[in-house]
Amino acid sequence: MGVKGLLTLVLENRKQLLKLTKLKDTSLIIDGHGICHILSESINPKSDYFGGNYDEFAHMCESFFEKLINCNITPYVFFDGVQDENKIKKTLHRLEERTERQRLISEGRSLEEENVRMLPILAYEALKSVLIDLKIRHRTCTWESDPQMAAFALELDCPIMTPDSDFFIYNIPKGVIVVDNLDLSNFKKCKKTGNYLEVEMYHISNFMFQIGLEEEDYAMIALLATVLGNDRRSYFLRFFGEANLPENCNNLTDTTAKKRVLKTLGWLQSKQKLSIAISDLVSYYDRTEREQLERSITRSIEAYTKPTAETVLKSPSMRSTFEELPKWFVDNFRKGKIPVPALAAIIGRPVILPPQVSVMGKPSPYQCCLQERKFIYRLLFGPGATHTIIEYDRDENWQLKPQYISFPHADGSVSIPSLNQIPNISFQVRLSVLLHILDLPAQILEKFKKYVFQEDEQLLIMTIILWLRIIEPPEDRTRYLITLLACFFRNRKFDSCLNVPGVVKSRSRFAILERYFELPSEINPTTFDCNVIHVFSQFQCCLQTVINLSQILCLSENAIHLVTGFNGTFVHNLYCKLYKVKLDPDYFMRNLFRTDAKFSETFNEIRRGIEETVLSCRSRARRDSDQLSWRRVM
């Protein structure tokens, strides 16, 4: 979570605290969540209004990691797992802040804070898809990643790259690379000595020297994090309210309003020894509180000074639940093949649904997949389990609210397997479970007999059908479908459809559509239609749900790659063109590919197959509803 104000102080005193370094020929531990945010900031801020340009973001990620590899740098990327229980309140507070910012964006308004970005909901999946393609080692930590990253950096004797000021507290001999923004021009080519990345490197030993502490007393810096850490700051309000702290610490500067970091450093400098500092700190509290406070301080300091590769859950019941999980599930989770909210739900933590660009007065886009998420929880807990999941989502008035989710009872038409059973049942049975959950026909590909789809393409078709069924009014579906198909064809997510006689794989056929990837010069009612973005936000929720189901059911290794086929700016702009100019979608597509008849035929066959399947699904749903009503009457 970071130490508030510490990064600012380090950057303000970069001449004393940071060293310009040529990074090459080394391993490198990378904070996955941190680098995801930093790389997203390289994308035009206006893209935030359109819900996610994942193809563009993936290209940025690919460029960054390829440049690292060209410098003979071997990256290891770590992602956070389930948050510690005592951080949930802080997380919900940040979620409320994000909800308010996303509301402003959804209304087409600008944010007051500078450099605040809204990470799209599938950004981590887009990053992970790049890591998989480049064969870069990465893992999702069971809990928070900080101690594991520090432990691996010590084991590999290499630096850490992160924007998180918590890492300034760990004693990492090779240093911490400060990343508050990313300039790809800092990658330098050098034939003589080899390519390198020019970075600013932080070493805790230099920090201690600047504040006049002995190098072996680096636990004093861990005390700084304990007192100022975002997760524990409220514990020490009395100390800051009553202690007469020094105004300065050597020649360091601190331009923050309260100068709390600088004053705490000055206080540590005046104490010199850890034991003296702790005694002084607890003296501001009642005697009945001191023993417990000292234990808490000691645990915090040890977490920084003795990082381990695995942390243990404090709650015995949660620990027992985790230890009973199947080995395949835990292994796949650590490989990033199981979504983090799945484990959060299992051990009783709330499931966070980050708000998206969407319309006030309408339900959150996540609500379109509520029934499918209920089945996810049923899979996680087993066929006969009774449990209630807490999800946090925004309501129709853009207020963050908890919703309590109970599971559906299996109707007996398909047996819902337990986690223990999933790896041992056939692919076809697992696929039938997925189709049952999505309420899709077993012969879903019957309309596409001419084509042989890859597994991820089948999942994409399922997602599109799931999404189209909820679009109202129905007459809008053709425009939305054509728009989405054009985006995914252009981004090569339907390439196997082109393996038919007469069709040539060519990206140039989409050149005429490139104009729709352009962001507007300003956001206003003529360039931004939140109603359109809302529908495509629902698609992202459907895609996320289908990917998560496929991961839990072990159906596809490549489902995550579907994310990078989506570009929110493109689908918004093309749909608005089709709708506002009142273009006939069929005429538009025939004219678009008039010199590419075979591809046009393929495109329209895929489109018609999807539309016919949607109609048959809706007819079946109506029949089932009628039968259900009749049974109730009887």
CATH for 173: 3.40.50.1010
Chain CA centroid to CA 31, Å: 13
Distance, CA of 513 to CA of 492 (rounded, Å): 14
Number of neighbouring beta carbons within 10 Å of residue 104: 14
Q: Looking at residue 625, what is its pLDDT? A: 36
Under a CB-based contact definition with an 8 Å cutoff, are residues 273 and 289 in contact? no
pLDDT single digits (tens) 343-361: 999 998 999 999 999 999 9
Q: How confident is the model at residue 547 (pLDDT cuts 50, 70, 90)?
A: very high
pLDDT single digits (tens) 422-473: 999 999 999 999 999 999 988 888 888 888 888 999 999 999 999 999 998 8
Residues 288 and 436 in one domain: no
In sequence order, which ranges of 19-145 are alpha helices (DSSP H)?
A: 32-40, 54-70, 88-106, 123-133
Angle between helices 530-552 and 427-437 (to 10 degrees): 150
Alpha-carbon separation of residue 161 from 68, 179, 480, 486 (angstroms)? 12, 7, 41, 38
Closest CA to 450 of 617, 589, 606: 606
Bridge-based pairing of strands 351-352 and 388-394 is: parallel
Distance, CA of 182 to CA of 103 (rounded, Å): 28
Lowest mean pLDDT among 33-42, 64-73, 77-86, 364-373: 77-86
What percentage of the chain has pLDDT greater than the value 70?
92
Residue 390 lies in a domain: no
Query: Token match 């001449």: residue?
Result: 15
Query: Token match 């008039």: residue?
Result: 594
Distance, CA of 469 to CA of 543 (rounded, Å): 14
Bridge-based pairing of strands 176-178 and 196-202 is: antiparallel
Q: Looking at residue 362, what is its pLDDT? A: 94
Q: Looking at residue 618, what is its pLDDT? A: 59
Residue 343 lies in a domain: no
Which residue among 264, 283, 305 closes a domain? 305
In sequence order, which ranges of 565-596 are alpha helices (DSSP H)?
A: 568-580, 585-592
Number of independent structural domains in the chain: 2
Distance, CA of 530 to CA of 106 (rounded, Å): 6
Q: What angle do CA 84, 89, 92 make, to 5 degrees?
A: 105
Distance, CA of 461 to CA of 467 (rounded, Å): 10
Strand partners, 153: none
Closest CA to 562 of 547, 572, 575, 573: 547
Whole-model pTM? Answer: 0.91
Instruction: Indicate the average pLDDT of the chain.
Output: 87
Residues 222 and 86 in one domain: yes
Under a CB-based contact definition with an 8 Å cutoff, are residues 225 and 231 in contact? no
Residues 77 and 215 in one domain: yes
Q: Which two tokens stand for residue 613?
A: 């399947």
Q: Is the per-residue pLDDT at 499 higher than 80?
A: no
Residues 20 and 168 in one domain: yes
Name the residue with higher pLDDT: 262 or 385.
262
Q: Looking at residue 631, what is its pLDDT? A: 26
Which residue among 255, 289, 305 closes a domain? 305
Alpha-carbon separation of residue 93 from 86, 90, 307 (angstroms)? 13, 5, 28
Which residue among 252, 277, 305 closes a domain? 305
Amino acid at 194: G
pLDDT single digits (tens) 235-264: 788 888 888 888 888 888 888 888 889 999
Under a CB-based contact definition with an 8 Å cutoff, are residues 541 and 366 in contact? yes
Residue 157 lies in a domain: yes
Give whichever of 289-298, 304-313, 410-419, 610-619 has the largest mean pLDDT: 289-298
Residues 299 and 435 in one domain: no
Under a CB-based contact definition with an 8 Å cutoff, are residues 271 and 277 in contact? yes
Closest CA to 72 of 109, 25, 36, 12: 25
Distance, CA of 248 to CA of 17 (rounded, Å): 16
Closest CA to 62 of 194, 188, 184, 161: 184
Name the residue with higher pLDDT: 587 or 100.
100
Number of neighbouring beta carbons within 10 Å of residue 349: 20
Phi, psi of 157 (to 5 degrees): 55, 60
Under a CB-based contact definition with an 8 Å cutoff, are residues 509 and 596 in contact? yes
Closest CA to 172 of 185, 159, 182: 159
Q: Which two tokens stand for residue 427?
A: 């692919």
Query: Token match 């680096």: residue?
Result: 218
Residue 285 lies in a domain: yes
Q: Which two tokens stand for residue 47?
A: 């893209």
Query: Where in the sequence is the domain holding 440, given as residue range(s)?
Result: 427-633
Q: Provide the 3-class DSSP secondary structure of residue 311.
A: coil
